[in-house]
Homo-oligomer: A and B are copies of this chain.
């Protein structure tokens, strides 16, 4: 069917919903280049102002999913026939290395629990932008590690380690990628149906059957207030379900950094500490515990999505056991080598040569560590990207030595900065002064990261 594009834009502009045929025509025409970008961006801005019905959002998601390659795991190999395919998606935050820990942890449940359901985690990740790091960037600091796998390699990793770590490639949802790059330069990123369509279409195309969304909420999150985080969570879950997936969302706090280490290679280190249950010191163990608990929480949720008859208590116990008995770590190592990591990767992990200590300016109690300012500091030293074409430095980052609620003495080291050169410290010092608030009196810090769930 043929439509007049300006009439479709007008329809949305005036607050009406486009039909399935109209949206098919629009996305298809955009993807094949027959509709010019300048009409698409006018439509995007109209969507920003007028939103989309759930039927429109589903159809947009469907069309973007359909625009490229689609993975069907069960058909790839007989060994995957009986798998339960689960994935997690996070909207991103500072220090968010959850995927690195979560994938082997969930896989370990599939290999070892009494339930024996074969959980398979085909984890598809992107690069980072802004102060929210990307799993691809973190894993690429591991020497030899390859995230661009062919079908055979994907199957091999899934069978051997229960999971595979894939970078989004050009053939998956090309219409979404093209649309995103237009949204990026036309102030149309912050639109609920467009965000939803972009996220869900990729999970759908990646053949995920069970999806847990980690919708972060707070100063360094995409959604800074609870209400917008909740609205996004509801939209993601609703469209995923309409697309035939089992889905749940957890809204988690992103006010302070997640864990003790921030920066690409440093975050790989912290993941390994948690998976091996071996920390360089007790302070770092203490600071890593909320992150570890969140990973366990998510792993239980993902297993329950796949099989709601499993025991929540049993799963939780298995998670903690598998983090202590080395099962999760074994799968992590197995995955690394299956995906090409060199045997000396740990020693090859490059950390920046200069260490600068950030000292407490006075006695008091840490009231707040604002992850937004720390994320911005991360961009300044190239731990993160300002623009998508920027290159990053995997070796730099921050080691937090304190957390909200801690008492502190003047001169104590609060943060250890891993830098390329001392001049970088001048760039970021003000960000840390902004980020860390010291109070006179003891404060009660609310440590729980989980705020709410949407089913």
Query: Is A3 part of the binding interface, using a Cβ–Cβ cutoff of 8 Å?
Result: no
Q: Judge whether A385 is part of the interface by a CB distance below 8 angstroms.
A: no
**A388 CB to closest chain B CB, in angstroms?**
13
CB-CB under 8 A from A184, the residues of chain B are 6
Which chain B positions have C-beta within 8 A of A7? 187
Query: Counting chain B CB atoms within 10 Å of each CB, which of A10, A13, A46, A187 scores highest?
Result: A187
Complex CA gap A182/B41 in Å reads 12
Q: Can you list, as one digit per residue, whether each of A34-46 has a CB less than 8 Å from chain B (1) or not (0)?
A: 0011111110111
Q: Confirm or deny: A48 has a beta carbon within 8 angstroms of a beta carbon on chain B.
A: yes
A423 CB within 8 Å of chain B: no
Name A49's closest neighbour in chain B (CB-CB).
Answer: B49
With A13-B48, A48-B13, A49-B49 given, is the CB distance from A187 to B41 under 8 Å?
Answer: no
A186 at the interface (CB under 8 A from B): yes
Q: Is A9 an interface residue (CB 8 A)?
A: yes
User: Quick one: closest B residue to A186, CB to CB?
Assistant: B42
Q: Tell me which of B38, B44, B48, B187 contacts A182 (CB under 8 A).
A: B38
A108 at the interface (CB under 8 A from B): no
CB within 8 A of A13: which of B13, B45, B185? B45
CB neighbors of B among A39-78 (8 A)? 39-42, 44-46, 48-49
Q: Is A188 an interface residue (CB 8 A)?
A: yes
A358 contacts the other chain (CB 8 A): no
Chain B residues near A39 (CB-CB < 8 A): 41, 185-186
What residues on B are CB-neighbors of A5 within 8 Å? 185
Given contacts A37-B37, A49-B49, contact A10 B42 (CB under 8 A): no
Contact of A10 among B10, B37, B182, B187 (CB under 8 A): B187
* Nearest B residue to A14, CB-CB: B187
A186 x B6 contact (CB < 8 A)? yes
8 Å CB contacts to B: which residues of A183-212? 184-188
Q: Which residue of B lies closest to A50 (CB)?
A: B49
Contacts of A186 on B, CB cut-off 8 Å?
A: 6, 9, 38-39, 42
A38: chain B residues at CB < 8 Å are 36-38, 40-41, 182, 185-186
Chain B residues in 8 Å Cβ range of A45: 9, 13, 41-42, 45-46, 49
Contacts of A182 in B (CB 8 A): 38
Docked CA distance A319–B253 (Å): 78
Contact status B49-A187, CB under 8 Å: no
Contact with B along A339-372 (1 / 0, CB 8 A): 0000000000000000000000000000000000
Taking each of A39, A42, A182, A184, which has the highest tally of chain B beta carbons within 10 Å of its own beta carbon? A42
> Measured between C-beta atoms, what is the minimum distance from A386 to chain B in Å?
11
Instruction: Tell me how far the C-beta of A189 lies from the nearest C-beta in chain B, rounded to whole angstroms.
Output: 9
A112–B160 CA distance with the chains assembled, in angstroms:
101
Contact B185 A6 (CB under 8 A): yes
Q: How far is the CA of A36 from the CA of B185 in the complex (A)?
A: 10
Determine which of B37, B46, B49, B187 lies in contact with A9 in the assembled complex, contact meaning CB atoms within 8 Å: B187
Q: In the assembled complex, how far is the CB of residue A449 from the closest CB belonging to chain B, in whole angstroms?
A: 31
Chain B hits for A44, CB < 8 A: 42
Name the CB-closest residue of B to A46.
B45
Beyond known contacts A13-B45, A41-B41: 20 more, CB 8 A cutoff: A5-B185, A6-B186, A7-B187, A9-B45, A9-B186, A13-B48, A36-B37, A37-B37, A37-B38, A38-B41, A38-B185, A39-B186, A41-B45, A42-B42, A42-B44, A42-B186, A42-B187, A45-B49, A46-B187, A49-B49
19 A–B contacts from the bound complex (CB under 8 Å): A5-B185, A6-B186, A6-B187, A7-B187, A13-B48, A13-B187, A36-B38, A37-B38, A38-B40, A38-B186, A39-B186, A41-B45, A42-B42, A42-B44, A42-B45, A42-B187, A45-B45, A45-B49, A46-B187
